[in-house]
Chains A and B, each alone.
Chain A
Amino acid sequence: MKHQALPPEFSVIRNEDKCIQCQACVRQCGFDVHEYDEEKNQVCANETNCVNCQRCVMICPTKALSITNNPNHYRINHHWNSVHIQNISRQAATGGVILTGMGNDKPMPSYFDRILINASQVSNPSIDPLREPMELRTYLGAKPDQIKLTSENGQLKLAEPPPPQVRIETPLLFSAISYGAISLEVCETLARAATELGTLYNTGEGGLHKDLYQYKNNTIVQVASGRYGVNHQYLNAGRIVEIKIGQGAKPGIGGHLPGEKITRSISETRMIPEGTDAISPAPHHDIYSIEDLRQLIYNLKEATNYQKPISVKISAVHNIAAIASGAVRAGADIIAIDGFRGGTGAAPMAIRDHVGIPIELALAVVDQRLREEKIRNRVSLLAAGGFRSSADVIKAIALGADAVYLATAPLIAIGCRLCQKCYTGKCSWGICTQDPYKTKRVNPELAAERVSNLIHGWSHEIKEMMGGMGINSIESLRGNRAHLQGVGLNEKELKLLGIKYAGEAI
């Protein structure tokens, strides 16, 4: 038998008492699940197509819908679970690579969930952020080891200008998501929110659309292996230029934008032909070794007149400490490390789920190695890869990060529910699609407010937790591992993270 139909993954449960046949679900579903039967005056569901994106559930005015896992079970088998059976069956039919979207969803060990945060008591008062100033302002860029001052007529001055610094008002930035993977409306949403918050968003490898140049004060422009959209104007449009060596979701391979998603606008922005797949090469074809990276970094510094910090984004992989150290010595001003929970618009599932290491460990070992080599001051460290809450952020900063890159969280704020079908371009929420019927579903003004709200909420929570630790300035939290303790971690894990076990004397 060539074709073997797979049972639907999900069941659509419609409470007929509540359904008013308004057909909002029919119109909003991006996967052609709901249909109105005129004869029966009933909306019914073609469940095979359902990907559990939750758009219909959200839009239904009477909350008549819910999506569950299809109660049809394969026989329980902890080794050959249903995901494996489905994937093998699909590959048998098509011979292709199983693609997926967003970040690793498998139950790998989480370190953030096994690290706890300190609070001060008795000998050290906790501080109330509503009463005392609590400072989150962060400057990204290389710092010299020593300040050089001079005096002119009794006025103290800097003897030499410091290396370029970029100021952000909160240690949260928006990570790289390319125009192409997402719609222009979502790019604009992130740009607006970044502007309102006093932080930065990252263009990803999709280039910078001309309508977004107005947000250049809050933009990080990325130079990825495909060099999409990279020209002199582009490089000077950002506050920071980031070289993307890898991303956490798919270390070792490049970006992938299927031809269906390449419209006229994307073709113009990326400077590539319409309709053909845009597959970024795995390495930059001019970076085959560390000295080549140094060359590119300095090319970019020359092109931007040494006015902008240059960031290097690397995936968290096995030799991350040495790679990071090399990148610092190659001249990077910022190093962004993307852990294995990082999201993507399209990646082979096998790579997304099995390649790369957790950001907690990567960050800890990189920070420690750079300090041992006495070069930590030369870069700001950004951590990325599945940060879910302000608690995750505090832990990352205490482990050594200067700031944290967020991508999945703001997308969830806009509406994403992680159905992982981004690569189809059919996103019902209008987020990762170029279909004009759907892209309108993100109203940048409203969506930017939601994203802003999220970051404001997290920033306030960070202040509360800092205050609880007796800290009123973020630089005192950076690398301060004494405020973290672990539970359920073994000796090796504690050692790598550089923290003690909960209850241990400090």
Chain B
Amino acid sequence: MLLEGELRIPSGCAISGMINRRGERFSGEAVIKSIALMHDRSNGLGGGFAAYGIYPEYKDYYALHLMYMNQSCRDEVESIIKDNFSVEVEERIATRNHKGIVKPPNLWRYFVVPKDYKIHESKDSEDDFMAAITMEINVKFNGKACVISSGRNMGAFKGVGYPEDIGEFFRLDEYKAYSWVAHGRFPTNTPGWWGGAHPFTLLDWSIVHNGEVSSYGANRRFLEMFNYKIALQTDTEVIAYAIDLLVRKHKLPLELAAKVLAPPFWKDIDRMSNDDQKVYQSLRTIYGSLLMNGPFSIILGFPGGIMALNDRLKLRSLTAAEKGDLLLVASEESAIREICPNPDRVWYPRGGEPVIGRLYEEVTI
């Protein structure tokens, strides 16, 4: 029987995210509580989290989180890592036993920097180099080993199980982050695969996604022209790569990248001012193949912020709220009120309108 990783499994889900814009770091307990409320949106076959600001003492190192299904994969991957990077720390990711988590794979963490001569040889930037290596590993090992996250001062934690169980398993109550993103999964197939859980990450980007990308085939074939290797067979992958291409490589502001994924309709572009019209027309004609069709609500995590976005027709639920320095987003208002009973403001973002929460300008982390 084909495992996920060899084929695509569509799924429905729950998402939740929050950021303290003052940069004050807090434990994962709140986000676990929030996602636990939405228990019935998952079926126990996937849950995951991403956290930003959790490794301040290693903030200049790439924090590689890896999962291995067997020892031989681990040996092979570690040799790739040691070949390309100087490894500062190499350790197991701390976990605690949990009856809801069965047969976890080997989970390892490495703090690394790329070797200088490798960067010289490849002529890539450090980020491009790291991205290429992570894509290479994911493609090569075809599900038997996979890079869970590879960003700086951030990490992703995910696996097969209800998200609240995963959160406990990974001891997220012991970490402190200024922003958290969480996901619970309802894949339409068994067996669940640890690598298929969300968030999907690339470098510092993490995405949790509730939805199905009907434009996947078009998105994928466009991204492949820009050297992105689509391996993990989940829809979420193309969203992460699209953001990476638009924001990191093509230097578009995040707000505009959101407008590529969920652009305004032509009838609305026709009514814009001349300059705006030209810009949006160009965005749609140049990046039309990155339009994300199909229902989605996503939360994107990045250093310094989070962004929540719905598809143009708002075919998935998404609620946002603010209380003081906190910005919260989730699939359900109840999930927000579970941890923040009296928000200052609650609203439902419109289809295609991004909700972006960033650290205040004066904050450094």
Contacts and interface: CB of A to CB of B under 8 A. Distances in A.
Nearest to A504: B7
Interface stretch (B32-40, B78-86, B217-225): B217-225
Given A137-B266, A475-B284, A479-B217, A125 B275 contact: no
B215 A471 contact: yes
A478 interface: yes
A149 B279 contact: yes
A157 B326 CA distance: 34
Nearest to B12: A123
B133 to A, nearest CB: 21
B7 A505 contact: yes
A481 B225 CA distance: 16
B188 interface: yes
A478 B220 CA distance: 11
Nearest to B224: A371
Interface stretch (A4-12, A139-147, A232-240): A139-147
Given A127-B313, A472-B312, A120 B8 contact: no
A146 B246 CA distance: 9
Contacts of B286: 143-147, 162, 377
B123 to A, nearest CB: 18
Nearest to B289: A475
B218 A125 contact: no
B288 A471 contact: no
Nearest to B276: A156
Contact of B293 (A122, A149, A471): A471
Interface in B123-170: none
A506 B219 CA distance: 15
Nearest to A146: B250
A123 B11 contact: yes
Contacts of A424: none
B56 interface: no
Contacts of B291: 473, 475-476
B7 A472 contact: no
Given A147-B282, A505-B7, A470 B288 contact: no
A7 B323 CA distance: 91
Interface of A: 120, 122-125, 127, 132-133, 135, 137, 139, 143-147, 149, 155-158, 162, 165, 371, 374, 376-377, 398, 469-473, 475-483, 505-506
Interface in B249-282: 250, 252, 256, 265-267, 275-276, 278-279, 281-282
A483 B315 contact: no
B218 to A, nearest CB: 4
Q: Which 8 A-B pairs have the closest CB atoms?
A: A475-B288, A476-B215, A482-B217, A480-B217, A476-B293, A470-B214, A480-B218, A124-B212
A144 B283 CA distance: 11
B10 interface: yes
A145 to B, nearest CB: 8
A371 B217 CA distance: 13
Contacts of B275: 155-157
B214, B286, B313 interface centre (most CB from chain A within 10 Å): B214
B295 A479 contact: no
A122, A158, A470 interface centre (most CB from chain B within 10 Å): A470
Nearest to B189: A505
A140 to B, nearest CB: 10
A151 to B, nearest CB: 10
A147 B250 contact: yes
A371 B221 CA distance: 7
A139 B278 CA distance: 13
A483 B212 contact: no
Contacts of B312: 472
A479 B278 contact: no
Contacts of A165: 285
B214 A478 contact: no
Interface in B1-43: 2, 7-8, 10-12
Nearest to A484: B217
Given A478-B289, A479-B222, 5 more contacts: A125-B295, A162-B285, A476-B292, A478-B218, A480-B214
A124 B212 CA distance: 6
A143 B285 contact: yes
Interface of B: 2, 7-8, 10-12, 188, 211-212, 214-219, 221-222, 224-226, 250, 252, 256, 265-267, 275-276, 278-279, 281-289, 291-295, 312-313, 315
Contact of A470 (B188, B252, B295): B295
Contact of A162 (B218, B265, B282): B282
Given A120-B214, A146-B250, A147-B252, A472 B289 contact: no
B68 to A, nearest CB: 25
A498 B140 CA distance: 22
B267 to A, nearest CB: 7
Nearest to B245: A146
Nearest to A131: B313
Contact of B283 (A123, A127, A133, A147): A147
B279 A156 contact: yes
Contact of A124 (B218, B256, B288, B294): B294
B12, B265, B282, B293 interface centre (most CB from chain A within 10 Å): B293
Contact of B279 (A120, A157, A377, A480): A157
A371 B225 contact: yes
Contacts of B219: 476
Contacts of B289: 475-476, 478-479
A165 B211 CA distance: 33
A472 B293 contact: yes
A156 B282 CA distance: 12
B217 A374 contact: no
B216, B221, B224 interface centre (most CB from chain A within 10 Å): B221
Nearest to B263: A473
A125 B7 contact: no
A404 to B, nearest CB: 17
A268 B216 CA distance: 52
Contact of A147 (B222, B265, B267, B287): B287
A377 B282 contact: no
26 contacts: A120-B212, A120-B294, A122-B188, A123-B188, A123-B212, A124-B10, A127-B313, A135-B266, A139-B281, A147-B252, A156-B279, A162-B286, A165-B285, A371-B224, A377-B225, A470-B295, A471-B215, A475-B218, A475-B284, A476-B215, A477-B218, A478-B218, A478-B288, A479-B289, A480-B217, A480-B218
A287 B281 CA distance: 36
Contacts of A156: 256, 275-276, 279
Given A124-B212, A156-B276, A480-B218, A506 B288 contact: no
B9 to A, nearest CB: 9
